[in-house]
Amino acid sequence: MLNGTKPVNSNRDLRSKVLATAASSWNDIEESLSNCLPPTAPRELREATLDRARQEWKQPIPFLPLRWLLATAASLAFAFTGAWYESAQNQKFQVAPNSLGAPTSAREDRYQDFGTPPLLAPEASLLVVGGYMSTNNKSNNTITWLTSRNR
Amino acid sequence: MTAIDTGIQKSLSDDDPQTLDLIYDAYGDLIFGYINCLVCSRQDAEDCFQNLFIRIVNKRHLLKGKENLKAYLMTMARNEVMEFFRKKKRSIDTVDCDETFIVATDDADTLPVEELSRALASLPLKQRDIIFLKVYQQMTFKEISKHIGISENTVASRYRYGLKKMKQLMLQVQS
């Protein structure tokens, strides 16, 4: 007490006692749990599961999954049509006099030089990607997951 | 690699559908117990279990050459369960467990299994998952941390908190 070691030791003793009690109680629970077993798979589930899986096994595995091919094609289409659209826009502003030689509005120029607008090509390819994703369960779930609040 | 795993790997390299039987016989019960513990419903566990086998078939090329097939399958099972929760738009922390998912062994008839099961079921999934892996799969904290993708210390603390909470619940029941 005089040199101040006793309170420290008694604290340590107390701490170790508390820890030992806690550990023993955890051990009790652990031991009780280990004397039990998780349930086994029901017998009727075996055939149902394996039959379904065997059917799936017969399906050939594609070298590259179709969804990756589609996604790659859509991305490339998006990139190229976007680039083409950009270059067409730039070209329009370089050579766009009307028949009287006076400058016209951007919208008129577009119709004069290219006829109809280029069908909003980048947006069209986005639609392709969107359509693909909406038909693909996994991607759809990914979107759901990304947008869900409780993820 | 165990003898069973070697057999499964050989069957996998031959692309033999018999692989499924081998996997089922070796790890079926183990995986089913784990899934059942996570989803807390026999019906949902059966659905997840069947879907897992379809996933195994579709990803069988990834199983080839795996040293620890059991750990890989357990991770697949866990992912399947998480996918299941996402599909059902259910939060993993609001799962209501109304079924017992442990049974007493023959020489442990005196145990309060129902209370134990209820106490385990009342834990959050994160703690229940770790307790299950530690007690029934005899996995170390290090293995569990790899399996779940969190730090070893977090695994250890979740395990202890889980057991502590179970103990409190058991005491409440006793009193």
For residue B4, what are its two tokens?
């069973």
- State whether A78 and A142 are in the same domain: yes
- State whether B140 and B93 are in the same domain: no
- State whether A26 and A89 are in the same domain: no
- State whether A18 and A81 are in the same domain: no
Q: What is the mean pLDDT of chain A?
A: 66
The confidence band for A139, taking pLDDT boundaries of 50, 70 and 90, is: very low
Between residues B16 and A108, which one has the greater pLDDT? B16
Burial A6-32 (b: 16+ CB within 10 A, else e): eeeeeeeeeeeeeeeeeeebbeebbeb
Nearest CA in chain B to A52: B54
Among B66, B98, B130, the domain boundary falls at B98
Confidence (pLDDT) at A36: 80
Q: How many domains does chain B have?
A: 2
- State whether A76 and A141 are in the same domain: yes
Residue A39 contacts residue B101 (beta carbons within 8 Å) = yes
The confidence band for A24, taking pLDDT boundaries of 50, 70 and 90, is: low
Tell me if chain B has a CB within 8 Å of the CB of A26: yes
- State whether B64 and B79 are in the same domain: yes
Question: pLDDT tens for residues B136-149?
Answer: 888 899 999 988 88
Between vectors from CA A57 to CA A52 and to CA A58, what angle results, nearest 5°?
105
Confidence (pLDDT) at B49: 93
Q: How many domains does chain A have?
A: 2
Q: Do B163 and A26 touch (CB under 8 A)?
A: yes
Nearest CA in chain A to B82: A151
Question: pLDDT tens for residues A92-109?
Answer: 555 555 555 555 555 555
Query: A48 in a domain, yes or no?
Result: no
- State whether B82 and B54 are in the same domain: yes
Domain of residue A11, residue span: 1-31
Asked whether the predicted pLDDT for residue A138 surpasses 60, the reply is: no
Confidence (pLDDT) at A25: 59
- State whether B63 and B5 are in the same domain: yes
Confidence (pLDDT) at A18: 57
Query: A129 in a domain, yes or no?
Result: yes
- State whether B92 and B133 are in the same domain: no
- State whether B132 and B158 are in the same domain: yes
Between vectors from CA A56 to CA A53 and to CA A61, what angle results, nearest 5°?
135
Among B64, B98, B132, the domain boundary falls at B98
Question: pLDDT tens for residues B74-120?
Answer: 999 999 999 988 887 666 555 566 566 677 776 656 667 777 888 88
- State whether A76 and A19 are in the same domain: no
- State whether B7 and B53 are in the same domain: yes
Residue A36 contacts residue B103 (beta carbons within 8 Å) = yes
Question: From CA A143, how far away is CA B5, in angstroms rounded?
Answer: 37
Question: From CA A41, how far away is CA B27, in angstroms rounded?
Answer: 10
- State whether A24 and A71 are in the same domain: no
Residue B69 contacts residue B5 (beta carbons within 8 Å) = yes
Between residues B37 and B92, which one has the greater pLDDT? B37
Nearest CA in chain A to B60: A57
Instruction: Indicate the residue of B60, B101, B167 with minimum beta-carbon distance to A26.
Output: B167
Query: A113 in a domain, yes or no?
Result: yes
Q: Which CATH number covers residue B123?
A: 1.10.10.10
- State whether B93 and B142 are in the same domain: no
* ipTM metric: 0.77
Q: Which residues of A touch B58 (CB under 8 A)?
A: 56, 61
Q: Are strands A36-37 and B103-104 parallel, antiparallel or unpaired?
A: antiparallel
Among B74, B98, B122, the domain boundary falls at B98
Domain of residue B67, residue span: 1-98
Question: From CA A8, how far away is CA A10, in angstroms rounded?
Answer: 6
- State whether A71 and A140 are in the same domain: yes
- State whether A77 and A123 are in the same domain: yes
- State whether B113 and B132 are in the same domain: yes
Beta pairing partners, A36: B104
Query: A40 in a domain, yes or no?
Result: no
Report the candidate in A121, A146, A120 with the shortest Cα–Cα distance to residue A133: A146
| Candidates B58, B61, B134, partner chain A, best to mutate (most A CBs within 10 A) | B58
Asked whether the predicted pLDDT for residue A81 surpasses 60, the reply is: yes
Q: Which residues of B touch A34 (CB under 8 A)?
A: 135-136
- State whether B43 and B8 are in the same domain: yes
Asked whether the predicted pLDDT for residue B156 surpasses 90, the reply is: yes
Tell me if chain B has a CB within 8 Å of the CB of A50: yes
- State whether B6 and B20 are in the same domain: yes
- State whether B55 and B15 are in the same domain: yes
Chain A, chain B: beta-carbon pairs less than 8 Å apart: 121
In sequence order, the 6+-apart residues with CB closer than 8 A to the CB of A107 are none
Q: Which residues of B touch A35 (CB under 8 A)?
A: 104-105, 107-108, 111
